[in-house]
Amino acid sequence: MTSYRIALNFEDGVTRFIDCGANEKVLDSAFRQRINLPMDCSDGVCGTCKCRAESGSYDMGDDYIEDALTQEEANSGLVLTCQMVPSSDCVISVPVPSTACKTGTSQFSATINNILQFGDAAYELVLDSALNAPSFLPGQYVNIGVPGSDQHRSYSFSSAPDSSCMRFLIKQVPGGLMSTWLSTAQSAQTVQITGPLGSFYLRPVTRPLLLLAGGTGLAPFLSMLEVLAHQSRTQPIHLIYGVTRDQDLVLVDRLEDYAARISGFTFTTCVADPQTAHERQGYVTQHMPQEALHDGNVDVYLCGPPPMVDAVQKHFTQAGIKPTQFYYEKFASATAPAVTSVSSEKAT
């Protein structure tokens, strides 16, 4: 029986996936899987179940009234989940917290497959995907519990959804809780995971992309690029990867592999350290080619530490650059819980 995967993104950053059968309405499918999406009449009259379809194809029929959903709203991507019948996988933004729908984040455990260390710069944590692990959108993150403590840290997937292993690029922080544990962790150990979370994820590609990565903020872009490697598209993609020190440039070989696999994908790297031996010294804002901005007809994705995000925003404002879409995520080494939105911040 044909079914479609529907990602429900709640306003508190939680994402839940449901399977929607052919000719089944999203609201009915969600209720069947114990997710109580907002509703009142369920007949296309009240508009209570109004959400936004961010991607995918669907049919709304003609059984709802104008007061519930105007033509202008429908043209902008708003839908009534009580009438929406998908004909492909879809991503839907739900304008309420997940708790209001009697659901929440998924929790599961995973075992260590491998840990790779890149000098004193970063670790790559590779986990075997658990059978009960939920899917995710490329760019999202999870909270990983640090064994031996009651704390967790948040990391973006650097692997694609549905991969046999889950990969995470983790900055090595001297004395850091996760870094200290990773320095002695062994294969087959188990970690507890909560997620997926976050509204920083790859949207449908309809125009050129400019990807800006700072340090281990490269992680979500590796997930996105793996997905893009399997899509047919003609839009150019340029990534700028900036780090503080020469040794912080990690996984460049994977970017080279994507450059060979993905038509129209190019990347540059730069190092902020004035004493660098790298050919490009400076910050990402200093190595942003004008042609990569496409006169503003570009979707920009930015993931990096707060100073970098602030600097890019300031650069865009001062240069009069207004990307068609601008999605960013800040991350910092901290112990505070993650807080996410379209423009999001997370603790690492």
What is the distance between the alpha carbons of residues 290 and 96, in angstroms, rounded to a whole number? 39
For position 225, what pLDDT does the model report?
Answer: 98
For position 126, what pLDDT does the model report?
Answer: 98
What is the distance between the alpha carbons of residues 99 and 101, in angstroms, rounded to a whole number? 5
Q: What is the amino acid identity at position 287?
A: H
For position 86, what pLDDT does the model report?
Answer: 97
| Spatial contact of 227 and 160, defined as CB atoms under 8 Å apart | yes
- Residue owning tokens 């047919």: 232
What is the side-by-side strand order in the sheet with 165-171? 152-156, 141-145, 190-197, 107-118, 122-128, 165-171
What is the distance between the alpha carbons of residues 113 and 131, in angstroms, rounded to a whole number? 15
For position 347, what pLDDT does the model report?
Answer: 44
| Spatial contact of 15 and 196, defined as CB atoms under 8 Å apart | yes
Q: Is 224 helix (H, G, I), strand (E, B) or coil?
A: helix
Q: How far is CA 296 from the centre of its chain?
A: 22
Look up residue 50 and give its two tokens: 């109004």
Q: What is the amino acid identity at position 83?
A: Q
- pTM of the entire structure? 0.88
| DSSP-assigned letter for residue 100 | G
For position 146, what pLDDT does the model report?
Answer: 96
For position 324, what pLDDT does the model report?
Answer: 95
Positions in the chain whose pLDDT score sits under 50:
334-348
For position 130, what pLDDT does the model report?
Answer: 81
Per-residue HEC secondary structure of 280-327 comes to: CECCHHHHCCHHHHHHHCCEEEEEECHHHHHHHHHHHHHHCCCCCEEE
Catalogue all structural domains in the chain, each as residue range(s) with its CATH number: 3-101 (3.10.20.30), 107-197 (2.40.30.10), 209-339 (3.40.50.80)
Cβ-based burial of 247 (10 A; exposed 0-12, middle 13-18, buried ≥19): middle
For position 242, what pLDDT does the model report?
Answer: 98
Render pLDDT for 190-208 as a digit per residue (tens, 0 to 9).
Answer: 999 999 999 899 999 999 9
- Residue owning tokens 């929790």: 107
For position 333, what pLDDT does the model report?
Answer: 63
What is the distance between the alpha carbons of residues 345 and 110, in angstroms, rounded to a whole number? 25
Does 196 sit behind a cis peptide bond, omega within 30 degrees of 0 on the bond before it? yes
Q: What kind and span of H or E run contains 93?
A: strand 90-94
Look up residue 74 and give its two tokens: 């429908």
For position 341, what pLDDT does the model report?
Answer: 34
